[in-house]
Structure 1
Amino acid sequence: MTTSPAGQRSRADVIASRDLVIDLARVACILLVVVIHLLMIGVGYDADGAIVVSRLLEAQPWFAAATWVGQIMPLFFVAGGFTAFTAWRSLQRKGGDRADFVRGRTLRVASPALPLFVFFVVAIGGATLAGIDPALLDTVVAGVGTPLWFLAAFLLAQCAAPWMAGLHARAPRATLLVLASAAIAVDALRIGTGIAEIGLLNLAFVWLFVQQLGFWYADGWFRARHPLTLVAIAAAAYLVLAEVVAAGWYSPDMLVNLNPASVPMLLLGIAQISLLTLAHRPLAALMRTRGAQAVVYLVGSRAMTIYLWHLPVIIVVEGLSLLIPGAAPEPGSAAWWATRPIAFAVVLGIVFAISPLLLRFEQVPTGIPPGRHRPAPIAIGTAAALAFVPPFLEIVFLLDLPIAIVGVACFTAALMLLRPRLD
């Protein structure tokens, strides 16, 4: 099939209008999350033939140090901030308003989340009826639900983007200062009182701060800095991070500092966007190649599907490997490490195989067809609140059957509220 000159121009225009380095960063973050979760789950047989289940990666002596580089969720939120900022500007030029933006962002979270929660209801309910050991089931389900915190944080940050963009336009430095001060105050109160639930407030302050860095990147502030300045900013962020960890206020394991979100995520966000900007030129050269563009498009167009479904697929693959002779070596053995690339390929292969069934949920249209009108702002706000509830409940209580059922109900109601109305 050939591409017409008009189609070629259209493709070139799309590429020219995007920062492909940000797209590359987003895809790299998604794939790294899959790798980390795959290495965290160790299932196999020991020398005596007994089944071994372990969180092997966290037991490695180098793991905590590696998280200072491998904890890339702040970079993902920076990339999300860039995307939200540019999308909001584009929507404004087309005459859209805040309600339009919130509706679109909520649709793109609630729609792909709904089939996952339906799956959870069926899987958890079926396992319960089948008599699976409740303790084992609770452990597995809680682990599978771990990544769902992202839906609450991302939805909150994205829906707030139009208001935060306004603050960025009026007082960019003051906005960052207020958010950082609030995050520090929340952490101080949490650490001082020992009440972990206080840290939930930083689901807003920390991730809004990190998202705001994406606004600064979109405005060109980071690109305008001298390379040595970017190195100094990144070094200063890591130095402060080292100091607060050495003081005993935070864990040296950056995964521990992720939930609840805390000041280390803020510092990592500053360092990561500085280093990404420093590497922008060679990465941009890479993204001018068709091969890199194809990979980034292939993964990026399925980013939410990969993120939401990779962990259930990992659990299924690990379970099935126990039924195949030689496919489940003892976790930590040389054979286990050697089979991780194969396991990664299998997991991604399965996710891509099921993605055609799920892309209709991820790529849900946000436009209003002729003869219909947008729902009222109050309906859109209610839908956003409903979509926030299930992943937030997972953060507080961990995933279980009741939360899965609530999720199906909330996401279904949210999508119904967001549907275009008849004129």
Structure 2
Amino acid sequence: MTDAPAATSPTPLAPGRDRYFDGLRALALIRVVAYHAFGWAWAGLVFPSMGVMFGLAGTLMAKSLERPALQVVRGRFRRLLPPFWFWGAFVVVAMLVHGWMPDRRIVYWIVPLGDPPGNAWGAQAWEILWYLRTYLWFVLLSPLLLRVFRLAPVPALVASLAPVLVLNFAWAGPDDRVGTALWDLATYLFCWMLGFAHRDGVLQRLKPAPVAVLSLAAMAYGGWYAFSRRAGYGTYDLDENPLAQAFWSAGFVMLLMWAKEYFRIDLAGLTRLRRTDRLVTVFNARAVTIYLWHEIALVLAVPLIDRCWDVPAFEAYLPLESQWFLFAVGWLLIVVFVLACGWVEDVAARKKPRLLP
């Protein structure tokens, strides 16, 4: 990046920024794009991105709730909805052009507390909105969840795995939008509450042995359940198996957050690697833009590469058949979307719009 300061001293972090968490969020976004480009079933086992993102969001939410709850909830909605509306306007218009007939559920394109409707043509774009819907519900529930957590931190943390067990073994919930939302909330509730535990210093007080045993046990159960139910789900991909996802993410994210406190990891030295530090900054400041637009970028990469076959030099020298080439072109288009659309995040945060933060 060319926007690095000229001074020789490391760039100071903005107040309250934690480069360890910033780095995890950037890595999570990269993994999400890679998963959607390659479809690797093992990707969630190596790094459960969504569990990590919900854990980080829970930490930030607990910090924010030191202010009045209504103010915090309203602020979270204000920062998320304008980028969603901007992105959604393009998706909705495109689906209308391709024959979509909306109904009263179109209200979910205004506030996505339920899955916004759409047609099969636009499914690859709008299917990622489950994350925004789940995030907004966690934001709404956080004042109550944080109060319950602070009454009995460890029991509340352990009990947060109960809903996914109930849904999996006792009651599957309604077969509609409500049921889908319940499954997603139950799957990532522990990770969100784990963010509370990190913020309140609960993890810092835990001894290494019980943390290691419980985390590895949760991961072992999640991994075992994923592979033992492989025939039923057709894959061991955690994204297709909520119970396996919940337990694997619980153990994985607990180790990440506990290790940060126990070993005092902050990655402050990242500021000395200016280009890497700059990249992490951009990923965090444009996280919503990257998440919303990355699927469209990957979709557009396909016809763009198809056109390259018409150019003899490209056909001869470019690896047009390689999935890695698709991945690279997808990232080039993501950069275009960040430059063209990322300013909406600045407006939503009531900051001066900039091409790059």
- TM, length-normalised to structure 1: 0.65
Look up the match of 1:212: 193
Q: CA deviation at 1:299?
A: 1.2
- Alignment counterpart, residue 352 of structure 1, candidates 306, 326, 335: 335
- CA distance in 1 between partners of 2:69 and 2:174 (Å): 38
- CA distance in 1 between partners of 2:82 and 2:322 (Å): 37
Query: Is the CA contact 2:289–2:345 (under 8 Å) kept in the aligned structure 1?
Result: yes
Q: CA deviation at 1:207?
A: 2.8
Q: CA deviation at 1:323?
A: 1.7
Look up the match of 2:297: 313
Look up the match of 1:21: 20
**Deviation readout 1:86-138 (Å, 9 max, x if unpaired):** 2222xx2xxxx221111111112211110111101222233449xxxxxxx95
Residue correspondence of structure 1 range 231-250 to structure 2 within 5 A: 231-245=212-226, 248=229
Q: CA deviation at 1:78?
A: 0.3
Deviates more, 1:239-248 or 1:107-116: 239-248
Look up the match of 2:353: none
- CA distance in 1 between partners of 2:143 and 2:349 (Å): 17
Q: CA deviation at 1:253?
A: 1.9
SS at match of 2:17: coil
- Alignment counterpart, residue 288 of structure 2, candidates 300, 304, 307: 304
- Alignment counterpart, residue 295 of structure 1, candidates 274, 279, 283: 279
What letter matches 2:329 in structure 1? V
- CA distance in 2 between partners of 1:109 and 1:188 (Å): 34
Query: Is the CA contact 1:71–1:255 (under 8 Å) kept in the aligned structure 2?
Result: no
Look up the match of 1:118: 89
- CA distance in 1 between partners of 2:200 and 2:247 (Å): 20
Q: CA deviation at 1:305?
A: 0.3
SS at match of 2:203: coil
What letter matches 1:100 in structure 2? Q
Look up the match of 2:112: none
What letter matches 2:245 in structure 1? M
Deviates more, 1:176-185 or 1:25-34: 176-185
Which structure is richer in relative contact order (CA contacts within 8 A, separation 6 or more)?
Answer: 1
Change (3 A) 1:2 1:72: closer
Change (3 A) 1:278 1:81: closer
- Alignment counterpart, residue 176 of structure 1, candidates 157, 171, 176: 157
What letter matches 1:111 in structure 2? P
Look up the match of 1:68: 45
Structure number with greater Rg is 1
- CA distance in 2 between partners of 1:202 and 1:25 (Å): 25
Change (3 A) 1:211 1:2: closer
What letter matches 1:312 in structure 2? I
Q: CA deviation at 1:283?
A: 6.5
Deviates more, 1:217-226 or 1:280-289: 280-289
What letter matches 2:326 in structure 1? A
- Alignment counterpart, residue 73 of structure 2, candidates 91, 102, 109: 102
Query: Is the CA contact 1:186–1:199 (under 8 Å) kept in the aligned structure 2?
Result: no
Change (3 A) 1:224 1:18: farther
Q: Which runs of 5+ in 1 are unaligned?
A: 41-56, 58-62, 130-136, 328-333, 368-423
Q: CA deviation at 1:318?
A: 0.8
Look up the match of 1:265: 245
Look up the match of 2:64: 87
Change (3 A) 1:194 1:161: closer
Residue correspondence of structure 1 range 339-378 to structure 2 within 5 A: 340=324, 342-365=325-348
- CA distance in 2 between partners of 1:352 and 1:73 (Å): 22
**Deviation readout 1:160-180 (Å, 9 max, x if unpaired):** 222222222222233234432
- CA distance in 1 between partners of 2:24 and 2:142 (Å): 20
Residue correspondence of structure 1 range 165-204 to structure 2 within 5 A: 165-190=146-171, 198=179, 200-204=181-185
- CA distance in 1 between partners of 2:209 and 2:154 (Å): 21
Query: Is the CA contact 1:21–1:287 (under 8 Å) kept in the aligned structure 2?
Result: no
Q: CA deviation at 1:30?
A: 0.8
Q: CA deviation at 1:317?
A: 1.3
**Deviation readout 1:342-382 (Å, 9 max, x if unpaired):** 43333223222232442332223557xxxxxxxxxxxxxxx
- CA distance in 2 between partners of 1:2 and 1:245 (Å): 45
What letter matches 1:162 in structure 2? P
**Deviation readout 1:279-307 (Å, 9 max, x if unpaired):** 64567265343433212101111110000
Say how many residue pairs are matched: 316
What letter matches 1:18 in structure 2? R
Look up the match of 1:143: 124
Change (3 A) 1:75 1:182: same
Change (3 A) 1:98 1:360: same
- CA distance in 2 between partners of 1:185 and 1:276 (Å): 27
